[in-house]
């Protein structure tokens, strides 16, 4: 689009479109319903507006038209194990002797009985695996004008070399999840195919931790991969229902922080952790992202997002192992409490630090938007 100055409208018609003059970032304007908003206006040849529509990106890949904001997009359906808090989730698991994954499975089946849930989840896992693989081998520069070089392929080669040559006392294998996550984040930044989990900006963490699990655990089975995704999904729901998974609403704690929490809890579950240990891993992963701002340089999901995904993936794995060393009982901070705190912290955060690219690193490294 930048090169051709053409915009295809649903493949039906092509119009002239210049990014510099037709795509305007109103960084000081905030629309009332959500900070992440986009107004589309169609003009006729005389420059008079024909139609205008506002859309909000509310996180997790959800896009809502202004007229539909706040309305449920689906009819409420009965599910066997309804929960809105971590405490209720864990109580239901205890009461019915279910794992989190089993409970989620039952709920998903009730929502869509005709769906082949196992096949769908394994398909998602394979898309995640493919984007790790692709990102580890795709060289070049990321689009957008920041001239960010893709680093994952060279890092991948470095790690492979060192794996062969290093002694067991000095090795870099702990960096694998970091490189996997960077690979996926680079794919995202390049417009490649990724899984929004929970958001595109934080899409590297779940695939990286899952790839780590598939590669370094001998006994990985399709069922464990399914359990990993269902457990991660349950944790994501808790954040979605009680806080936010949108950087524009609560800063990066709502994206990278949530992904880290999902991954830490899910990995703990598939490594045999108890409910208390799963809660503890998910809680710690958010606790140490509280207050993390969203400040993408030039509005591109590259700096600091790509490295940030890498660091969070490694952190999720460490916290899962840490949680498994303790029984997780009598912890002072519950998962519900940290979610509540994340929401309160995000609400207190200045809008400069919530995806506006006006504060933090985006301000320090301010560059002009690329022209067409
Ligand atoms: S800094 Fe902002 S855009 Fe980048 S990953 Fe975090 S929330 Fe997403």
pTM for this structure?
0.89
Tokens of 43: 């003009």
133 C-alpha vs ligand 1 centroid, how far in Å?
23
CB 247 near ligand 1, within 6 Å = yes
**pLDDT value at 2 more than 70:** no
**Exposure on the CB side of residue 272, measured as CA atoms within 13 A:** 6
Q: What is the pLDDT of residue 145?
A: 95
CB 294 near ligand 1, within 6 Å = yes
CB 190 near ligand 1, within 6 Å = no
Q: What is the pLDDT of residue 1?
A: 60
CB 256 near ligand 1, within 6 Å = yes
Average pLDDT taken over every residue of the chain? 92
Nearest by Cα to 254 from 199, 309, 178: 199
Q: For residues 245 and 49, give the distance between their C-alpha atoms in angstroms, rounded to a whole number.
A: 34
Smallest CA separation from ligand 1 atom 4, residue: 305
Q: Which atom of ligand 1 is nearest to the CA of 251?
A: 7
Q: What mean pLDDT is predicted for residues 4-16?
A: 82
**pLDDT value at 32 more than 90:** no
186 C-alpha vs ligand 1 centroid, how far in Å?
13
Classified as helix, coil or strand, 156 is helix
CB 54 near ligand 1, within 6 Å = no
CB 181 near ligand 1, within 6 Å = no
Smallest CA separation from ligand 1 atom 1, residue: 294
How many residues are listed for the chain in this entry? 372
CB 233 near ligand 1, within 6 Å = no
pLDDT digits (tens, 9 = 90+) for 258-271: 999 999 999 999 99
Q: What is the pLDDT of residue 371?
A: 37
**pLDDT value at 170 more than 80:** no
Q: Do 103 and 352 touch, CB atoms closer than 8 A?
A: no
Tokens of 161: 């070399």
Our mutation pick for probing the ligand 1 site, out of 200, 206, 308, 359, counting the most ligand atoms within 8 A of Cβ, is 308
Q: What is the pLDDT of residue 18?
A: 83
What are the two backbone dihedrals, phi and then psi, of residue 149, each rounded to the nearest 5 degrees? -85, 140
181 C-alpha vs ligand 1 centroid, how far in Å?
14
CB 207 near ligand 1, within 6 Å = no
334 C-alpha vs ligand 1 centroid, how far in Å?
25
CB 255 near ligand 1, within 6 Å = yes
CB 336 near ligand 1, within 6 Å = no
Q: What is the pLDDT of residue 88?
A: 98
pLDDT digits (tens, 9 = 90+) for 70-92: 776 555 779 999 999 999 999 99
Q: For residues 138 and 187, give the distance between their C-alpha atoms in angstroms, rounded to a whole number.
A: 8
Helix segments in 296-334, DSSP class H: 305-325
Nearest-5° angle of CA 67, CA 28, CA 72? 20
Query: For residue 372, what pLDDT band results from cuts at 50, 70 and 90?
Result: very low
Tokens of 329: 């009982």
Tokens of 87: 């405490």
Our mutation pick for probing the ligand 1 site, out of 246, 256, 345, counting the most ligand atoms within 8 A of Cβ, is 256
120 C-alpha vs ligand 1 centroid, how far in Å?
27
CB 355 near ligand 1, within 6 Å = yes
Q: What is the pLDDT of residue 63?
A: 84
| Range scoring the smallest mean pLDDT among 235-249, 280-294, 300-314, 357-371 | 357-371
Smallest CA separation from ligand 1 atom 7, residue: 252
């Amino acid at each position: 689009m930048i090169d051709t100055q053409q915009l295809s409208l649903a493949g039906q018609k092509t119009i002239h479109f210049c990014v510099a003059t037709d795509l305007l970032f109103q960084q000081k304007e905030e629309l009332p319903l959500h900070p992440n908003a986009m107004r589309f206006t169609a003009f006729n040849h005389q420059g008079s507006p024909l139609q205008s529509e506002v859309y909000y990106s509310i996180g997790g890949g959800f896009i809502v038209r202004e007229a539909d904001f706040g309305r449920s997009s689906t009819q409420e359906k009965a599910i066997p194990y309804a929960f809105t808090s971590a405490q209720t989730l864990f109580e239901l698991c205890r009461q019915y002797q279910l794992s989190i994954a089993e409970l989620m499975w039952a709920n998903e089946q009730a929502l869509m009985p005709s769906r082949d849930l196992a096949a769908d989840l394994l398909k998602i896992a394979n898309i995640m695996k493919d984007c790790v693989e692709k990102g580890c081998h795709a060289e070049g520069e990321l689009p957008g004008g920041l001239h960010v070089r893709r680093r994952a392929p060279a890092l991948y080669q470095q790690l492979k070399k060192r794996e062969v040559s290093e002694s067991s006392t000095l090795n870099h294998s702990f960096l694998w999840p970091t490189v996997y996550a960077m690979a996926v984040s680079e794919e995202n930044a390049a417009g490649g195919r990724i899984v929004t989990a929970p958001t595109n900006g934080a899409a590297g963490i779940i695939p990286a931790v899952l790839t780590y699990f598939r590669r370094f655990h001998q006994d990985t089975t399709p069922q464990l991969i399914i359990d990993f995704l269902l457990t991660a999904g349950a944790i994501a729901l808790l954040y979605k229902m009680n806080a936010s998974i949108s950087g524009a609403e609560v800063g990066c704690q709502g994206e990278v922080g949530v992904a880290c929490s999902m991954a830490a809890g899910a990995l703990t579950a598939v490594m045999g952790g108890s409910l208390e240990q799963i809660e503890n891993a998910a809680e710690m992963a958010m606790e140490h992202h509280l207050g993390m701002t969203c400040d993408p340089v030039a509005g591109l999901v590259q700096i600091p997002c790509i490295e940030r995904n890498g660091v969070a993936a490694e952190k999720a794995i460490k916290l899962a192992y840490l949680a498994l060393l303790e029984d997780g009982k009598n912890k002072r901070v519950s998962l519900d409490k940290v979610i509540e705190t994340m929401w309160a912290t995000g609400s207190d955060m200045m809008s400069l630090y919530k995806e506006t690219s006006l504060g933090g690193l985006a301000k320090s490294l301010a560059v002009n938007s690329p022209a067409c």
